[in-house]
Chain A
Amino acid sequence: MKDVSFGQYYPIDSPVHRLDPRLKLLFLIVYIAAIFVADSFWGLLACAGVLLFSVLLSRVPFGKVLRAVKGVIFLVIFTAVINVLFYAGETVYWSWGIFSVSKEGMVFSAFLILRIVLLVICSSLLTYTTTPVSLTDGVESLLSPLKVIRFPVHELALIMSIALRMIPVLSEETARIQNAQKARGADFESGNLIKRIGAFIPILVPLILSALRRADELGDAMEARCYMGGKKRTKYKKLRFGWGDLAGALLGAALLTGVILLRIYVGGVI
């Protein structure tokens, strides 16, 4: 019921929490660019170092941060294995039919794993340290230039914020329905895959119904308050770009420039 799922806002105060959401979003983009530009051990080490620094600064416990990685562990292992087996490298250790294991393939997979892990940690750090509301404000503000070409930025931001807002509501609802069906003897833990999928019908049907009902009610409530979206709406909390944000921007810029320079002048492993 009140057990929190991963990726949700972690409500403490820290320099990272106080940063402007726009800066954090841009930083995430720059960071992702940096981990894919970095093609050497030193480049990725620099990326990892910057992330470690951010995590320490955010004071979100390591356990929480690593839990985000746990969610994608299967994907990571799967991609790594596929890559090791299919990468066409030169120093081949073992091969069988179309499969081969080479030194290059292993290095490439190691880089890939590291990149995915860093990517996941960095993006979950964003959601841990930024409330959905300020995240949406950030997105809206960043996309606002698109208003010129009549792109419905505000509506998009609204959809996003409602979707984000509903995640905890629906997960609570799921837990509630799950408990109710468990009390009626439903068993979600045993049986084969098909049985288990079947076991979710008693949860899915009520969940979808309640989501539709909530959507209806929210729509009515907004209409009753004459919600009109778009122009001339003012914000309760104005976004401000402060000194901390400047420092963050400089850090991001330095990291990206650093890995680009490393790539050009030192060259990478792959």
Chain B
Amino acid sequence: MRIVAEHLTHIYNEGSPFEARALDDVTLTIEEGEFFGILGHTGSGKSTFVQHLNGLIRLPSSLKRAKKRKPKEGLPAPVLRVGDFDLADKKTDFRALRKKVGIVFQYPEQQLFAETVKDDVAFGLKSFADRKHPPEEGEIETAVREALGAVGLRYEEVASQSPFDLSGGQKRRVAIAGVLVTKPEVLILDEPAAGLDPLGKNEIADLLHRLHGDWCKTVIIVSHDMDEIAENCTMSAVFAEGKVKYVLPPRELFKHAEELSAIGLDIPLVAKLCRALSARGVEIGCDFTADGFVKAVLAMRGRA
């Protein structure tokens, strides 16, 4: 599903002293099949943007009681399309959309609620199901088994346990499985590695790569961890103060170190190393991933 957003603007509490402009005329296209990284500081609008993508935040024109406000001068009407869904249209079936676009929020393990892991993972499956034809027990079990397998957990070991008895990393996997169970085409993760140790971060990154390969066509991660973006993403966008500043592949993006630091963003560790080496007269051409760096250094030593 291709995601096209044009001229998105979102203001919280418009017209009150709490007014906050979260998105300011955002235009961004995310192609199908991409591993897309959305970078930005706290309050840059990145979370607000992704909540638009499955209709948790609606465009004013899609609400039943569309406010009859005059369109702002000089601003064309916002456009938001996810695959065939037109999110500016009030006739859109938002539940069907949410089934296709899964969002894993920050610290998803805090949303677990059911008595067993199986029930929690099955929640999405049951609630998206057709009311008249609820899924059969066998179907549920197969789907839960698959989703748990996709996040690297064994059904036999965890399915009947209470989710609250699991370790932190396992809880997060269960929560991700709870979103995967409906087989979304687009998977959005808000800070998927937040609060994990380096090993946990690597595991989540591996998991996301596996998912991107054979589970969800498009994976979007929201992060302010530059290493996470540099290591994983095929394309990235930088948000700052509600606007999109850059849309570049990470290897291009991190050449803009000065501009990034001006908006309060860091560059990946590898990019820092390359800059430090470059200042001493050693040029290493690499793609800013750890593997790429090691290969480049080895190649250089081999030559020397």
Are the chains A and B members of one assembly?
yes
Nearest CB on B from A187, distance (A) = 6
Near B by CB (< 8 A), chain A positions 50-66 give 64
The answer to whether A183 touches B102, judged by C-beta atoms less than 8 angstroms apart, is yes
The answer to whether B16 touches A183, judged by C-beta atoms less than 8 angstroms apart, is no
The answer to whether A185 touches B16, judged by C-beta atoms less than 8 angstroms apart, is no
* Chain B window 5-29, contacts with chain A (Cβ cutoff 8 Å), 1 for yes, 0 for no: 0000000110011101010000000
Given contacts A2-B12, A10-B17, whether A181 and B111 have CB atoms under 8 Å apart is: yes
Query: Residues of B contacting A202 with CB < 8 Å?
Result: 111, 113-114, 123
The answer to whether B103 touches A206, judged by C-beta atoms less than 8 angstroms apart, is no
Show 10 A/B contacts (Cβ-Cβ < 8 Å), sorted by A: A2-B18, A10-B17, A180-B105, A180-B108, A182-B98, A183-B103, A183-B105, A184-B124, A184-B128, A186-B123
Interface of A is mostly: helix
Near B by CB (< 8 A), chain A positions 235-249 give none
Given contacts A177-B110, A184-B179, 16 further A-B contacts (CB under 8 A): A4-B13, A10-B17, A176-B105, A177-B111, A179-B51, A179-B56, A180-B105, A180-B111, A181-B111, A182-B56, A183-B102, A183-B103, A183-B179, A185-B124, A185-B127, A209-B164
Flag whether A201 is at the interface (Cβ < 8 A): yes
Q: How far is the CA of A10 from the CA of B17 in the complex (A)?
A: 8
Nearest CB on B from A169, distance (A) = 14
Flag whether B112 is at the interface (Cβ < 8 A): yes
Q: How far is the CA of A9 from the CA of B108 in the complex (A)?
A: 31
Q: Which residue of B lies closest to A61 (CB)?
A: B16
Q: How far is the CA of A203 from the CA of B17 in the complex (A)?
A: 29
Flag whether B44 is at the interface (Cβ < 8 A): no
Flag whether A149 is at the interface (Cβ < 8 A): no
Near A by CB (< 8 A), chain B positions 79-118 give 95, 98-99, 102-103, 105, 108, 110-114
Q: Which residues of B contact A (CB under 8 A)?
A: 12-13, 16-18, 20, 22, 51, 54, 56, 95, 98-99, 102-103, 105, 108, 110-114, 123-124, 127-128, 164, 178-179, 182
Residue from B18, B20, B51, B108 with most neighbouring chain A CB atoms (10 Å): B18
Nearest CB on B from A172, distance (A) = 12
Given contacts A183-B54, A183-B105, whether A4 and B18 have CB atoms under 8 Å apart is: yes
Q: Contact check: which of B17, B98, B123, B128 meets A12 at CB < 8 Å?
A: B17
Q: Contact check: which of B12, B56, B164 meets A183 at CB < 8 Å?
A: B56
Q: Contact check: which of B16, B110, B123, B128 meets A209 at CB < 8 Å?
A: B110
The answer to whether B17 touches A206, judged by C-beta atoms less than 8 angstroms apart, is no
Q: Which residue of B lies closest to A4 (CB)?
A: B18
Query: Residues of A contacting B98 with CB < 8 Å?
Result: 182-185
Q: What is the total number of residues of chain A having a CB less than 8 Å from a CB of chain B? A: 27
Q: How far is the CA of A1 from the CA of B56 in the complex (A)?
A: 11
Near B by CB (< 8 A), chain A positions 189-206 give 201-206
Flag whether A95 is at the interface (Cβ < 8 A): no
Nearest CB on A from B194, distance (A) = 14
* A-B residue pairs, 3 tightest by C-beta: A185-B127, A205-B113, A184-B124
Query: Residues of B contacting A144 with CB < 8 Å?
Result: none
Q: Which residue of A lies closest to B16 (CB)?
A: A4
The answer to whether A185 touches B113, judged by C-beta atoms less than 8 angstroms apart, is no
Q: Which residues of A contact B (CB under 8 A)?
A: 1-4, 10-12, 64, 176-177, 179-187, 201-206, 209-210
The answer to whether B110 touches A2, judged by C-beta atoms less than 8 angstroms apart, is no
Q: Which residue of A lies closest to B178 (CB)?
A: A184
Q: How far is the CA of A10 from the CA of B13 in the complex (A)?
A: 12
Query: Residues of B contacting A12 with CB < 8 Å?
Result: 17
Q: Contact check: which of A11, A186, A205 meets B17 at CB < 8 Å?
A: A11
Q: Contact check: which of A2, A201, A204 meets B13 at CB < 8 Å?
A: A2
Nearest CB on A from B140, distance (A) = 14
Q: How far is the CA of A3 from the CA of B108 in the complex (A)?
A: 22
Q: How far is the CA of A221 from the CA of B179 in the complex (A)?
A: 34
Q: Contact check: which of B17, B51, B127 meets A184 at CB < 8 Å?
A: B127
Nearest CB on A from B47, distance (A) = 8
Nearest CB on B from A45, distance (A) = 31
The answer to whether B13 touches A206, judged by C-beta atoms less than 8 angstroms apart, is no
Nearest CB on B from A5, distance (A) = 11
Q: Which residue of A lies closest to B182 (CB)?
A: A185
The answer to whether A185 touches B99, judged by C-beta atoms less than 8 angstroms apart, is yes
The answer to whether B113 touches A187, judged by C-beta atoms less than 8 angstroms apart, is no
Q: Which residue of B lies closest to A177 (CB)?
A: B111
Query: Residues of B contacting A210 with CB < 8 Å?
Result: 110
Q: Which residue of B lies closest to A179 (CB)?
A: B56
Query: Residues of A contacting B105 with CB < 8 Å?
Result: 176, 179-180, 183
Nearest CB on A from B213, distance (A) = 23
Q: How far is the CA of A1 from the CA of B17 in the complex (A)?
A: 16
Q: How far is the CA of A204 from the CA of B111 in the complex (A)?
A: 10
The answer to whether A206 touches B56, judged by C-beta atoms less than 8 angstroms apart, is no
Q: Contact check: which of B18, B20, B127 meets A186 at CB < 8 Å?
A: B127
Residue from B12, B22, B103, B110 with most neighbouring chain A CB atoms (10 Å): B110
The answer to whether A185 touches B95, judged by C-beta atoms less than 8 angstroms apart, is yes
Query: Residues of B contacting A201 with CB < 8 Å?
Result: 113
Residue from B16, B51, B99, B178 with most neighbouring chain A CB atoms (10 Å): B16
The answer to whether B110 touches A184, judged by C-beta atoms less than 8 angstroms apart, is no
